[in-house]
């Protein structure tokens, strides 16, 4: 583990923001924006590593495994955020993707000092969640030196789970062992050491890509539509209706009726309309196609315009 943190890229002073406190408000904003423009290219340079991690996660999901994000501070909050958004977006079980943050969920809204320094707590958190060999653990540490994350990844390896590591410090790539290391190097922060900025944004982009790509590979998206979404509020019910309208070529009213007959399940409603099937028959067809909507639909398939019974 790196002892001299001043050597880390994420802890270096940024020459481009030197004297920022003496600049005008507009100049400060422009300096921050100029630095932010470096983030997407840095993430893009990690595309192959991200794809490897996605394939690792998909394999785990198909074998009954789960994905755990483990981090502290901003990194932990981003992991919990990404995990919490998967069920409504992709209709997956809330236990499939889980965020683990040093200091517990209270640390989401208030800093818990010292929680990240206890490696044993990282392992303990995964033990409490009954981590198994089928699971994947992705550690997140902007500077790569968080003991809580290192302890979690070490325990994951002992269990036999696959591991990933996301860090923005190139000096830390070899410090923590993982099956896949994702290292978007965004350079020094505008405010020295404030990794909630560029490093945090880069991490958010990586996590978004990991779960979104994995869910696409699991059949949770058809074309570019979230066909397994849970319509739990007015906005999402409207979106569900529009998805059925688009895929099944129905009117708004027909789409609403088809969804009602399908129990609110978008995929089932689309197959019912496209193949002129009952809800149960549509579900069986989806099951035969491992839940993937595209192969369950046939080109030129009959579109049902009748009211569902």
For residues 56-75, give the mean pLDDT: 97
DSSP output for 175-231: TS--SEEE-----S-SSTT-TTTHHHHHHHHHHHHHHHHHHHHTT--BTTB-TT---
Greater model confidence, 294 or 305:
294
pLDDT above 80: residue 97: yes
pLDDT above 70: residue 301: no
Give residue 134's pLDDT: 98
Arch. (CATH architecture) of 234-296 = Orthogonal Bundle (1.10)
pLDDT above 60: residue 300: no
Give residue 223's pLDDT: 93
Give residue 302's pLDDT: 39
Greater model confidence, 6 or 301:
6
Quick one: tokens of 223?
């074309």
Give residue 4's pLDDT: 62
Give the predicted TM-score (pTM) of the model.
0.90
Give residue 190's pLDDT: 92
Domain boundaries, the chain: 5-217, 234-296
C-alpha dist (Å) from residue 168 to 46, 130, 200, 297: 11, 29, 9, 43
pLDDT above 90: residue 298: no
pLDDT above 70: residue 1: no
To the nearest 10°, the Cα dihedral for 43, 159, 105, 214?
40
What proportion of the chain, given as a percentage, has pLDDT over 70? Answer: 94
Distance between CA 126 and CA 105 in Å, rounded? Answer: 14
Strands of the chain, DSSP E: 67-71, 97-101, 136-140, 162-166, 180-182
For residues 82-94, give the mean pLDDT: 95
Distance between CA 195 and CA 254 in Å, rounded? Answer: 50
Helix, strand, coil distribution of the chain in percent, nearest 5: 55, 10, 40
Give residue 135's pLDDT: 98
pLDDT above 50: residue 185: yes
What proportion of the chain, given as a percentage, has pLDDT over 90? Answer: 80
pLDDT above 60: residue 307: no
Just list the catalytic residues: 85, 116
Give residue 193's pLDDT: 87
**Beta pairing, strands 180-182 & 136-140:** unpaired
Confidence of residue 306 (pLDDT cuts 50, 70, 90): very low
Give residue 122's pLDDT: 95
Distance between CA 39 and CA 288 in Å, rounded? Answer: 42
C-alpha dist (Å) from residue 218 to 54, 55, 273, 289, 292: 11, 10, 23, 11, 8
Give residue 3's pLDDT: 57
Per-residue model confidence as pLDDT tens digits over 225-283: 999 988 888 999 999 999 999 999 999 999 999 999 999 999 999 999 999 999 999 99
Give residue 44's pLDDT: 98
Contact between 269 and 239 (Cβ < 8 Å): no
Confidence of residue 309 (pLDDT cuts 50, 70, 90): very low
Per-residue model confidence as pLDDT tens digits over 131-166: 999 999 999 999 888 999 999 999 999 999 999 999
Distance between CA 261 and CA 170 in Å, rounded? Answer: 54
Give residue 303's pLDDT: 39
Instruction: Return the CATH fold of 5-217.
Output: Rossmann fold (3.40.50)
Give residue 13's pLDDT: 83
Confidence of residue 7 (pLDDT cuts 50, 70, 90): confident
Distance between CA 76 and CA 92 in Å, rounded? Answer: 21
Contact between 218 and 58 (Cβ < 8 Å): yes
> Helix 119-128 and helix 147-159: axis angle, to 10°?
50
Q: What is the mean pLDDT of the chain?
A: 91
């Amino acid at each position: 583990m790196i002892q001299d943190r001043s050597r880390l890229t994420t802890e270096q002073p940024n020459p481009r923001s030197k004297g920022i406190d003496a600049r005008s408000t507009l100049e400060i904003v422009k300096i921050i924006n100029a630095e932010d423009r470096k983030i997407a290219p840095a993430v893009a340079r990690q595309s192959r590593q991200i794809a490897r991690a996605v394939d690792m996660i998909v394999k785990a999901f198909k074998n009954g495994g789960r994905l755990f994000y483990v981090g502290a501070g901003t990194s932990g909050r981003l992991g919990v955020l990404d995990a919490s958004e998967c069920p409504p977006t992709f209709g997956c079980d809330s236990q499939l993707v889980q965020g683990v943050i040093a200091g517990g969920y209270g640390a989401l809204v208030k800093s818990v000092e010292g929680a990240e320094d206890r490696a044993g707590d990282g392992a303990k958190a995964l033990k409490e969640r009954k981590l198994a060999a089928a699971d994947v653990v992705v550690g997140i540490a902007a500077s790569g030196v968080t003991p809580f994350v290192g302890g979690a990844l070490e325990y994951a390896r002992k269990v036999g789970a696959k591991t990933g590591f996301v860090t923005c410090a190139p000096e830390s790539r070899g410090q923590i062992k993982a099956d896949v290391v994702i290292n978007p190097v965004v350079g020094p922060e505008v405010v020295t050491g404030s990794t909630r900025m560029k490093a945090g944004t880069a991490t958010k982009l990586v996590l978004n890509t990991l779960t979104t790509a994995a869910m696409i590979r699991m059949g949770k998206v058809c074309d570019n539509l979230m066909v397994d979404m849970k319509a739990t509020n007015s906005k999402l019910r409207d979106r569900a209706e529009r998805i059925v309208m688009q895929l099944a070529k129905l009117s708004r009213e027909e789409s609403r009726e088809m969804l009602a007959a399908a129990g609110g399940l978008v995929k089932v409603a689309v197959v019912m309309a496209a193949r002129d099937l009952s809800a149960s028959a549509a579900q069986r067809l989806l099951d035969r196609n491992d839940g993937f909507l595209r192969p369950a639909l046939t080109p030129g398939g009959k579109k049902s315009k009748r009211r569902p019974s």
